[in-house]
Amino acid sequence: MLSLPRLPVPPPRLTGHDVDTGAGAGRGSRARAVLRRREQLHTLSDLRPKSQTRPLFLPAGVDRASRDGPVGPKPGCRAGRRPVTGSGVGRGEECVPGGDAALCWTGEILVPELAYVNGVITPLEEARVSVEDRGFQFADGIYEVAKIFDGKLIDLDRHLARLENSARMLELPLPMPLPELGRTCRDLHARSGIEDGVFYLQVTRGACPRVHAAPPGLEPTLVMTTRRLSRPLPEKITAITVPNNRWKMCACKAIALLPTVLAKHAAVKAGVNEAIFVGDDGLVLEGASDNVFCVKDGVLHTPPADGRILEGITRGRVLELAEERGIEVRVAPLPLDEFRAADEVFLTSSVLTVVPVVALDGRPVGDGRPGPVSTVLREAYWDFMRRFRDVTDSPNPSGSSSPA
């Protein structure tokens, strides 16, 4: 992993809502603008659906002081010292000393991480949902994760189409029509100003007193967040295989992710980066949070989207890119022994993009280095992201509406 260079000029020192007026006071105008920006987040125009009468996350009569407790430096932010760098802080971004954990120095501006909850936008750390929400109590919800690259939401329309399909599978109503949901996503992204990060979208069936069968007429809970990438993306990883203990609706991107969490824990315990699920029939399925590919004798192999895996958005793009480049593709069941004997293995996801696996179950894959096909497809996907233009019916952060 590359070490991060320290910024040549430290950011303005912020303590609570006070701007430093000492030796660095010349930078106060920028700091005051940032604080004004943060205050404006509480007074933005209401974006909630007309049927929604109030947000779920702030009970009436509860003030910030009693809710949040004493104000002070957040973890990773040391008041009155130089910006924090190193583990957990990436891409030239540094935490603001004594400031909000949700505000981060990028060398140009302080960028807030934002949350949207049922029409109300706040700094990420201040967002709240009801403890009675069915997503919290039953994992009764669905989600999507889209990549923010170079100020663009990559393949948002495909993510929303998959969200709609997941909602249909669970008979879960969406909070608004898909075009309006897309505009709301793009609006939050534009307000955040984040250039490289992750956009998270979650819909649950809503909040009500705890009962297994949801009563009719619940208002769905819509939560969206924008976050920066916390560290550079890896250029290669290692993995293990684990038994598949997930439910049978893997084509639905549901928030019930306990088997995935346990698989990730197993990977960490084994000292590797990822876990790959293998069915009882010995067929390789997918990674805990990604799709799997392998290459043997120049042929690209990947398991079919037959309901046992999630049909990944990046997976689909990589298959298109492989076809464009004349790479032979075989979408078919993938036995574990063939997978282990592959010349190359790589994984795809919205966040990781395309990442080669150089060791599997403690043995090197091929010669233990990223192979030529995975390297070509990784470069092709990054080139696709650079050229990507979001097609919308309203302005978008990239400033263009022409197709890729």
> What are the catalytic residues?
253
Q: Are 223 and 117 in contact (CB under 8 A)?
A: yes
Select from 304, 223, 197, 309 the least CA-distant residue to 48. 223
Q: Are 193 and 93 in contact (CB under 8 A)?
A: no
Select from 360, 297, 352 the least CA-distant residue to 330. 297
CB atoms within 10 A of CB 337: 9
Q: Is the dihedral of CA 22, 27, 30, 34 positive or negative?
A: negative
- Rounded distance between C-alpha atoms, residue 23 and residue 6, angstroms: 20
Which are the contacts of 145, defined by CB distance < 8 A and separation ≥ 6? 159, 198, 199, 200, 201, 350, 351
- Rounded distance between C-alpha atoms, residue 185 and residue 376, angstroms: 32
- Rounded distance between C-alpha atoms, residue 352 and residue 106, angstroms: 21
As given in the structure block, the two tokens for residue 5 are: 């260079």
Select from 302, 269, 270 the least CA-distant residue to 287. 302
Strands 120-123 and 363-364, by their bridges, are unpaired
Q: What ranges in 110-257 are assigned the alpha helix state H?
A: 134-138, 156-170, 178-192
As given in the structure block, the two tokens for residue 390 are: 């979001």
- Rounded distance between C-alpha atoms, residue 57 and residue 179, angstroms: 25
- Rounded distance between C-alpha atoms, residue 39 and residue 265, angstroms: 39
Select from 377, 314, 323, 396 the least CA-distant residue to 144. 314
As given in the structure block, the two tokens for residue 355 are: 């990442």
Q: 313-324 vs 372-387: helix axis angle to the nearest 10?
A: 110
As given in the structure block, the two tokens for residue 157 are: 């329309």
CB atoms within 10 A of CB 334: 22
